[in-house]
Amino acid sequence: MIIQNMHRVLYQSPAVTTDVAIFTIVGEQLKVLLVRRSDRPFRNTWALPGGFLHKNETTNLAAVRILSEKAGVKNVFVEQLYTFDAIGRDPRGRIMSVVYFTLVPHQDIKFKKGDKTQTPLFWSLKKLPKLAFDHKNIVTYARKRLASKLEYTNVVFSLLPKKFTFSQLQKAYEIILDRKLDKRNFRKKFLLLGLIKLTRGLLSGTRQRPARLYEFISRKPEELKKFF
């Protein structure tokens, strides 16, 4: 400990924070969770949820904690995105941020009550407010990574409920990749991956023909051979 602090003094180690980009799909839009800052700097400005590390906490665990505190979601994978440490990114001095990102099904989100000072809210990526610090950059970067991640992994499962229709699956891809996909080709290709299976259920209650419900065989992150 003494040695560690010696280094801090000698080498001016920056302070370390963790921020988390929490994505979800609501309606037909990709959204990211933002909180309104209650403290200076950037008081009342929207920002990614985040903060300084707790004692003996890794950045990964901090990200999991923040996700739980702000969105009420547990047992979800977070992935390290990038470490941002440009000089001047935080007016308080040398503060770096190890940023994580994650995908959450909209239904699973439960905002805590009574957290009056920091109101979390999902914002569409197409209409973001002014963001604190360099968070605009961070969101843009996370957005890109998310899209490319979709192309060679099965992460889409973490955006969908346990059971889902093929249309929902396809919509998720279309929203994130930001382009239309062909229905028949999409079904063929995705079924061939062998990641999902039919369930006995149907989605009724819509005004149309009921859709068949599928589920992922495994809900663990995996790399795929290839995809889009």
Partner DNA sequence: CCAAAAGTGTTGACTGTACACCCATGT
Partner DNA sequence: ACATGGGTGTACAGTCAACACTTTTGG
**Nearest residue (CB) to a second copy, 14 versus 201:** 14
* 126, interface contact from a second copy, DNA, none, CB < 5-8 Å by kind: none
Q: Is 113 in the site for DNA (CB under 7 A)?
A: no
Count of chain residues binding a second copy (CB under 8 A)? 32
Owner of token pair 């999991």: 64
**Nearest residue (CB) to a second copy, 89 versus 106:** 89
Closest distance between a second copy and the C-beta of residue 172, in Å?
Answer: 23
Per CB under 7 A, the list member of 121, 183, 197, 222 interacting with DNA is: 183
Q: Is 207 in the site for DNA (CB under 7 A)?
A: yes
121's enclosing H/E stretch is strand 121-124
Closest distance between a second copy and the C-beta of residue 215, in Å?
Answer: 30
Count of chain residues binding DNA (CB under 7 A)? 20
Q: How far apart (Å, rounded) are the C-alpha atoms in residues 165 and 107?
A: 15
Per CB under 7 A, the list member of 36, 65, 143, 187 interacting with DNA is: 187
Owner of token pair 């290709």: 189
**Nearest residue (CB) to a second copy, 54 versus 136:** 54
Q: Is 225 in the site for a second copy (CB under 8 A)?
A: no
Q: Rounded to an integer, what is the distance from CA 66 to the centroid of its chain? A: 12
* 94, interface contact from DNA, a second copy, none, CB < 5-8 Å by kind: a second copy
Q: Which residues are CB-contacts of 19 (< 8 A; sequence separation ≥ 6)?
A: 47, 48, 49, 50, 66, 97, 99, 100, 135, 138
Query: How many CA atoms, within 13 angstroms, populate the side-chain half-sphere of residue 11?
Result: 9
Owner of token pair 């950045």: 59
Q: Is 76 in the site for DNA (CB under 7 A)?
A: no
Determine the angle formed by the axes of helices 166-177 and 183-193, rounding to 10 degrees: 100
Q: How far apart (Å, rounded) are the C-alpha atoms in residues 1 and 56?
A: 13
Q: Is 151 in the site for DNA (CB under 7 A)?
A: no
Q: Is 183 in the site for a second copy (CB under 8 A)?
A: no
- 3-class secondary-structure state, position 159: helix
Point out which residues bind DNA (CB under 7 A).
Answer: 165-167, 182-185, 187-189, 204-212, 226
